[in-house]
Chain A
Amino acid sequence: MSIIKKIVFLLLFFMNGSFCAYAAEYPVSVIPDSLLKKANMVKRMEQTIIEIKGPGKARIYRKYAYTILNEAGERYAAFYDYYDKFRAINSITGTLYDAMGNKLKQVKKKDIEDVSDRDEMNLMTDLRFKYHNFYYKNYPFTIEYEEEVELNGIERLPTWSPLPEPYVSLENSKVIVVTPKEYSLRYKEFNYDRLPVINEAENGKTYLWELKSTMASEGELYSPEWNEISPTVLIAPTDFEIEGYKGKMDSWLHYGQFYNQLNLGRDILPGTTKQKVHELTDGLNSDREKVKVLYGYLQQNTRYISIQLGIGGLQPFDATFVANKKYGDCKALSNFMCAMLKEAGIKANTVLIEGGDDATPVVADFPSDQFNHVIACVPMQKDTVWLECTSQNKQAGFMGSFTGNRNALLIAEDGGYLVSTPHYTSADNLQLRKINATIDADGNLVVKVNTRFTGQQQELPHNLMHVATKEEREKYMNSRINLPTYKVLKIDYYEINGPLPIVDEYLEIESPNYASITGKRLFVIPNLFNKSSTKFSKEGQRKTPIEFRYAFKDVDTINITIPPGYTTESMPKDVSIKNVAGIYNISFKVNDNKIEVIRVNERTQGRYPASGYDELVKLYDEMYKADRARIVLVKKEG
């Protein structure tokens, strides 16, 4: 038996010994009351041992026991894990206990369902899942699963984040990493106030992190990313190996060099494509023009499809493949784009990034694989151009919600560099609306709306113009036009492309009985389309800081003509607030038979201490009320 195995065995033995008190039964009655508060699930124990044998070989032993307290926690009762070319699941054991701690059922790997990950997005992937559920419904109950996983090729190591969700409490969770003596393990802790327990033996090192007895927390809106507010440890190798490729992860520069190895020689274009590039760009004057034309060519001639097989999950199909087949995934398409630009004499790079509207920011001082997407970048003196190569209708240079406002890793010739994608402020993400409406003697409303959307705010109308189904268009209308009954008489869209794109929307709508006319009075809510619907609960002490990651500015200028002969009986008060949550102004005026309302709501990006919560609640409260404020007019006498 190898020395490392001996160390692992000793550790397991030691730990099992210390669990004798619980006798692996997990009766619910011994859980302290404090851990049952606000919890849907209690992690009774959780232990992961990562045994690293070399830069490309590791074994992971995972065992956990969760008590599911009620139906809201039922999703934690399921077991699932994935396997592929580089990761094999050697064994799984599952056990079900009732509330008293009696063992009810047991299951082994051979009885567990095996499912493929193929879906609409992934044409072909070798990723498969093991899934199991006891389908037990007598709450509370406990499930315990144990598995052994083998890694043949390391590019990522698991993150330890024992409490990543609200309404879950914890009795004990620990992670142990065992490495050969010469192996340099890298790690970074968040919200962990102790040092890891490190033991150096003759033939190996162990690292231990542990969390005990933590109460469940409540989910709070507008919180920072979970790894910033809950204990998390990131671990990563220094030297790593996968499919015969060797790399170093101690710096972004070195990590980028690994990708250069994977990409080497894959940017050769076939002769016909080279010709096409020259045909399209030789007559153009500026680099910027050439980029735009070649990006347009990419969008019109290729399609995105995801194929993730083996090392193909990291290494792109070469440019010749894309030129001939006319499809590829994000890596292949970005690589193809850069190859075309290179042929036109323009320097361009692929960039690794975490895509997604709400993605976690890259931890800049911890080089590791924190990415799930690839884009292309054309560095320029001023206004570097960024390209999303998987989209057939996105504007050149525009990153938007999916890839904007964040760090990414540029793969340059000599290695990797952390860079920032374009940042969009509230002045970039505008919704400017001009409304002209008329209400007749029966309360029927006819309205003409002109709205200009810019930056991230134009993404929705842009998608509506290019990819939405009729059903999605109607859903969009119903959510933007929250009038009780309405008919859209006319719709028109107009786009202005560019790195900060604009969409102009024109609508003509009629809404019967919008204004309530009873006897001698007319009731109308003049803020037709922009009613805020967020409301915060005022109870309890907020724990996490407040973070806004998305900035915007909405301005509504509303003019409504009403039938003559009315005078105002009740006018809502103007509101003007400015605090950490942003700016909100609304003013109401009635001149003769014209109602004028101007509404401004602006929010900037930023992070504020939890103590600012009261201001947040106040702004949203007042905005909610004022958005729905009603003007009451009464018929003039005589």
Chain B
Amino acid sequence: MPDVKEGSIIDISYTIKSDFISNLQPWEFQQEYPVLWSEYEVGIPEFYKYVLLGQGRMKYVVDKSDLSRSTFHYAVGGNSTQRTESGTFEAIVDTHRWVIKDVPALKEESFTTTLSNHIQKMEFQLSAVQFPGGIYQDRLGNWSTVSEKYLADEQFGLPISRGNGWLDDDIKQIVKGATSKTESAIKIFRFVRDNFTSTGFGTFLSEPNNLKDVFKKKNGNVADINMLLIAMLRHEKIGADPVILSTRRNGVIHPIYPLMDRFNYLVCEVTVDSAMYYLDASVPRLGFGRLPPYCYNGNARVISKPPEKTVFDPESLKESKITTVFIGNDEKDGVVGSYTSTLGYNESYSLREKLAKMKLEDYFKDITKGAAAELKFSNPGIDSLRMYDEPVSLRYDMKLGFGTDDVVYFNPMLNDAMKENPFKSAQRLYPIEMPYVADDTYIFNMEVPTGYKVDELPKSARVKLNEDQGMFEYIILNSGNNIQFRCRLTLNKANYQMEDYQTLRDFFTYVVKKEQEQIVFKKAK
């Protein structure tokens, strides 16, 4: 369209003819661009029964239903042995019309799972078909019928229900030396995790009955890899079942109806020695019994007989971090200190990922280059780097140049102070969704440097986020020659309403302000 300019109006219309009654077009009232008038009209004859799935908080300007009678033609049969039977019948048609005016545009923001969870939309799921005089055909099914179908499918349950004897020799090698069923499970899990590459998400095997192929090729989608894991566990008589879910970016699944095209991922539920674990062998370096944070998206379904429901709640995933710093006077070296931090599991995972591609010395140089010039860091060390089931501990030594200045300004949080508010936008149009909850503690002990005294100390403070949703504590004390400081930030909720945004933002503004405060030392006369 060569003449398009600002202010132009483009008129487009099109018609779709479809035989797919199970795919009645959904309608999104909300888009990337503001919409002045969004209207959807649907006429559904009474012999097709749909479940209406509406989402969104905007009010409809028009929301009405009209019933009318209509005549339908039908033709049945018509192959070489039967003649075609045709005729007409009458049925009631329910015409529903929805209109919304002045719909604001969407905007992708940080801490959102996916916009499709929040936009105003209307979806339809075919639940049953019943022609006049005909039998009632349930199309929606329930979880029992769907599970049964899946368990009998060659691209799902059938391959893992077989004996899979071709695994005999390899598994013998893999579980050699295991003294319990749990140890066998761990060995098998680690074998799959460390030797297979994932080529993408999925809930079905990429080819029917392909487990042997996946084992040979050493790669497959998430379902291929985790189904192979299940097959191997079952080979050792360890109870394992597939669990299907929808990852955070993919939107939530329906809490009741088996709307199968909303699922995009598959993990493994294992019961061994009276304990239950969830395993995902498609993610490198992920520990036994851990799922990647993007799986924590609410409801999930265990496809077993009978089928079961389970929930991966982001609020059950807690990032706990503890950092301890000691600073003291050394006769020879002046003011020296040590730093130790045990990271949360997710931060540990990110660090392991980084250190797979770079050396510790280079990573260390990277994180300490931003520090004040008077701080010199040395001796970086990392514990549990390859113990993937455990979090990681990072430590290093410090030397502080107190020099000969009369006045020295010192931030007890050193390099760990929060510098930016994670919520930069002034405004927010939908809920805030964080992938986990957090508990971050910083403990600091310092001997007042020789020759100096404390002139000013920041004030202690404690602030709550909406009573019980979170807390920030800044406690600092100077007793005699010692300074004790403790700073703790906890967030107990993963999902916040859009109305809470300003409070959340103000909370973090306060945290940043406090964490930038300085202790002032003056030279003792």
A interface residues with partner B (beta carbon < 8 Å) = 70-72, 134-138, 300-303, 326, 443, 470-471, 474, 478, 482, 484-488, 512-513, 516, 518-521, 523, 535, 537, 569-570, 625, 630, 632
Whether the Cβ atoms of B509 and A135 lie closer than 8 Å is: no
B515's nearest neighbour on chain A, judged by CB, is: A484
Whether the Cβ atoms of B2 and A470 lie closer than 8 Å is: no
- Write 8 A-B pairs (CB below 8 A) sorted by A numbering: A134-B218, A326-B2, A485-B421, A485-B512, A513-B509, A516-B517, A518-B517, A632-B407
Task: Check B456 for interface membership: any CB of A closer than 8 A.
Answer: yes
A513 to B194, CA, bound (A): 49
CB distance from B12 to the nearest CB of A (A): 18
Q: Which residues of A contact B217 (CB under 8 A)?
A: 135
Q: Which residues of A contact B508 (CB under 8 A)?
A: 485
Task: Check B426 for interface membership: any CB of A closer than 8 A.
Answer: yes
Whether the Cβ atoms of A523 and B409 lie closer than 8 Å is: yes
A300 to B6, CA, bound (A): 12
Which residues of B1-23 have CB atoms within 8 Å of chain A's CB atoms?
A: 2-3, 5
Whether the Cβ atoms of A521 and B520 lie closer than 8 Å is: yes
Q: Which residues of B contact A486 (CB under 8 A)?
A: 424
Whether the Cβ atoms of A570 and B407 lie closer than 8 Å is: yes
A36 to B409, CA, bound (A): 46
A303 to B373, CA, bound (A): 52
Whether the Cβ atoms of A470 and B107 lie closer than 8 Å is: yes
Q: Which residues of A contact B441 (CB under 8 A)?
A: none
Q: Which residues of A contact B218 (CB under 8 A)?
A: 134-137
Whether the Cβ atoms of A518 and B459 lie closer than 8 Å is: yes
Q: Which residues of A contact B3 (CB under 8 A)?
A: 301
A236 to B219, CA, bound (A): 42
Whether the Cβ atoms of B219 and A135 lie closer than 8 Å is: yes
A177 to B197, CA, bound (A): 39
Known A-B contacts A485-B421, A485-B508, A520-B456; the reply to A513 vs B407 at CB < 8 A is no
A134 to B508, CA, bound (A): 47
Beyond A470-B107, A485-B421, A630-B409: 12 further Cβ-contacts under 8 Å? A72-B356, A72-B358, A134-B218, A137-B196, A137-B197, A137-B284, A301-B2, A302-B2, A471-B108, A474-B425, A485-B512, A535-B369
B32's nearest neighbour on chain A, judged by CB, is: A469
Whether the Cβ atoms of B420 and A484 lie closer than 8 Å is: yes
Q: Which residues of B contact A135 (CB under 8 A)?
A: 196-197, 199, 217-219
Q: Which residues of B contact A326 (CB under 8 A)?
A: 2
CB distance from B404 to the nearest CB of A (A): 14
A488's nearest neighbour on chain B, judged by CB, is: B426
Task: Check B195 for interface membership: any CB of A closer than 8 A.
Answer: yes
A-B contact count (CB 8 A): 86
Task: Check B262 for interface membership: any CB of A closer than 8 A.
Answer: no
Q: Which residues of B contact A138 (CB under 8 A)?
A: 195
Which of A71, A485, A488, A537 is in CB contact (< 8 Å) with B357?
A: A71
Whether the Cβ atoms of B509 and A471 lie closer than 8 Å is: no
Known A-B contacts A135-B197, A523-B409; the reply to A484 vs B518 at CB < 8 A is no
Whether the Cβ atoms of B456 and A519 lie closer than 8 Å is: yes
Q: Which residues of B contact A520 (CB under 8 A)?
A: 456
B interface residues with partner A (beta carbon < 8 Å) = 2-3, 5, 107-108, 194-197, 199, 217-219, 284, 356-358, 365, 369-370, 373, 407, 409, 419-421, 424-426, 456, 458-459, 505, 508-510, 512-513, 516-518, 520
Q: Which residues of A contact B369 (CB under 8 A)?
A: 535
Q: Which residues of A contact B2 (CB under 8 A)?
A: 301-303, 326
Q: What's the dominant secondary structure at chain B's contact region?
A: loop
Known A-B contacts A485-B421, A570-B409; the reply to A516 vs B108 at CB < 8 A is no
Q: Which residues of A contact B520 (CB under 8 A)?
A: 521
A519 to B520, CA, bound (A): 11
Which of B108, B195, B370, B505 is in CB contact (< 8 Å) with A485?
A: B505
A486 to B420, CA, bound (A): 10
Whether the Cβ atoms of A523 and B421 lie closer than 8 Å is: no
Which of A485, A487, A518 is in CB contact (< 8 Å) with B458?
A: A518
B358's nearest neighbour on chain A, judged by CB, is: A72
- Pick the most buried of A137, A443, A478, A518: most chain B CB atoms within 10 A of its CB: A518
Which of A443, A482, A487, A537 is in CB contact (< 8 Å) with B426?
A: A487
CB distance from A514 to the nearest CB of B (A): 9
Whether the Cβ atoms of B518 and A518 lie closer than 8 Å is: yes
Known A-B contacts A516-B516, A516-B518, A521-B520; the reply to A537 vs B365 at CB < 8 A is yes
CB distance from B220 to the nearest CB of A (A): 9
Whether the Cβ atoms of B107 and A71 lie closer than 8 Å is: no
A470 to B105, CA, bound (A): 11
A518 to B508, CA, bound (A): 18
CB distance from B217 to the nearest CB of A (A): 7
Nearest 8 interchain pairs by C-beta: A513-B513, A135-B197, A135-B219, A326-B2, A485-B421, A72-B357, A487-B426, A485-B509
A135 to B218, CA, bound (A): 7
Q: Which residues of A contact B199 (CB under 8 A)?
A: 135
A521 to B522, CA, bound (A): 13
CB distance from A4 to the nearest CB of B (A): 40
A70 to B357, CA, bound (A): 8
Q: Which residues of A contact B420 (CB under 8 A)?
A: 482, 484-485
Q: Which residues of A contact B458 (CB under 8 A)?
A: 518
A443 to B357, CA, bound (A): 43
Q: Which residues of B contact A70 (CB under 8 A)?
A: 356-357
A539's nearest neighbour on chain B, judged by CB, is: B365
CB distance from B455 to the nearest CB of A (A): 9
Q: Which residues of A contact B407 (CB under 8 A)?
A: 569-570, 632
Whether the Cβ atoms of A516 and B195 lie closer than 8 Å is: no
Known A-B contacts A485-B508, A516-B517; the reply to A137 vs B194 at CB < 8 A is yes
Known A-B contacts A71-B357, A471-B107, A485-B421; the reply to A632 vs B409 at CB < 8 A is yes
A72 to B354, CA, bound (A): 10
CB distance from B515 to the nearest CB of A (A): 10
Whether the Cβ atoms of A521 and B456 lie closer than 8 Å is: yes
- Pick the most buried of B365, B425, B513, B518: most chain A CB atoms within 10 A of its CB: B513
Q: Which residues of B contact A474 (CB under 8 A)?
A: 424-425
Q: Which residues of B contact A518 (CB under 8 A)?
A: 456, 458-459, 517-518
B506's nearest neighbour on chain A, judged by CB, is: A512
Which of B5, B356, B459, B517 is in CB contact (< 8 Å) with A71?
A: B356
A569 to B195, CA, bound (A): 62
Q: Which residues of B contact A134 (CB under 8 A)?
A: 218
Whether the Cβ atoms of B365 and A523 lie closer than 8 Å is: no
A287 to B373, CA, bound (A): 59
A137 to B197, CA, bound (A): 8
Q: Which residues of B contact A569 (CB under 8 A)?
A: 407
A535 to B362, CA, bound (A): 13
A137 to B508, CA, bound (A): 42
Whether the Cβ atoms of B512 and A513 lie closer than 8 Å is: yes
CB distance from A270 to the nearest CB of B (A): 15
B107's nearest neighbour on chain A, judged by CB, is: A470
Which of A71, A484, A488 is in CB contact (< 8 Å) with B419?
A: A484
A382 to B458, CA, bound (A): 65
A474 to B510, CA, bound (A): 23
- Pick the most buried of B505, B518, B520: most chain A CB atoms within 10 A of its CB: B520
CB distance from B304 to the nearest CB of A (A): 31
A137 to B512, CA, bound (A): 42
CB distance from A539 to the nearest CB of B (A): 9
A521 to B425, CA, bound (A): 30
A534's nearest neighbour on chain B, judged by CB, is: B369
Q: Which residues of A contact B5 (CB under 8 A)?
A: 300
A478 to B420, CA, bound (A): 10
A322 to B407, CA, bound (A): 72
CB distance from B230 to the nearest CB of A (A): 21
Known A-B contacts A71-B357, A632-B407; the reply to A512 vs B107 at CB < 8 A is no
A537 to B3, CA, bound (A): 54
CB distance from A166 to the nearest CB of B (A): 13
CB distance from B459 to the nearest CB of A (A): 7
A137 to B196, CA, bound (A): 7
CB distance from B122 to the nearest CB of A (A): 26
Q: Which residues of B contact A484 (CB under 8 A)?
A: 419-421, 509, 512-513, 516
A303 to B107, CA, bound (A): 27
